[in-house]
Amino acid sequence: MKLRYLYLSGLGLAIITAVLGILTVCSKIGSDSPKAVVIKLFGAMEKNRTQDIPLLVDLPALMKIRDQDYALQTDKPRIFYAPEDILRDLTGDGLTKQRWFAMQRIVGNTDVAGDTAFVEVSFIDKSTNTQYYNKFGLRKLHGRWKIYSFKTISPSK
């Protein structure tokens, strides 16, 4: 009887530990910091994981931006009419991916105010000695941080 009790107690403890572990992992999905979301975006872009980008980027919000182009080094802003256009731009041979990955990327400080955050991202073109200073805007949507803006603050030499 004691052996059976110990076995059931051990089994119960193992089940409780497993459930708590699963709950911990599930609670961390989407609870990444704004900086971690930016870093994950670069990883998804590098690996052309188009399925991951909508989890990190607010595509409808980016489609509404008409006055600036986040590809850097552009004179005239491009307009995106479908989320798929943005996904193609951020992966594969997309212009933004090509330009961002041709430069050194530095992810800097984060400012968080409630459900809004800004993450400093600098792109450094070593051939022209130009730094493009950006603040990626993020906001919490359904408990997850998502990038809604790639605003370039200033290119400087």
What would the pLDDT profile of 19-56 be if each residue is shown by its tens digit?
A: 444 333 334 444 699 999 999 999 999 999 999 999 99
pTM of the full structure = 0.77
- Smallest Cα–Cα separation from 127: which of 106, 99, 149? 99
What is the reported pLDDT for 70? 84
What would the pLDDT profile of 127-140 be if each residue is shown by its tens digit?
A: 999 999 999 999 99
Would you give the DSSP letter of residue 126?
A: T
Say whether pLDDT at 82 is over 80. Answer: yes
Return all residues near 106 (Cβ < 8 A) that are at least 6 apart. 121, 122, 124
What would the pLDDT profile of 8-25 be if each residue is shown by its tens digit?
A: 454 444 454 444 443 333
What is the reported pLDDT for 149? 94
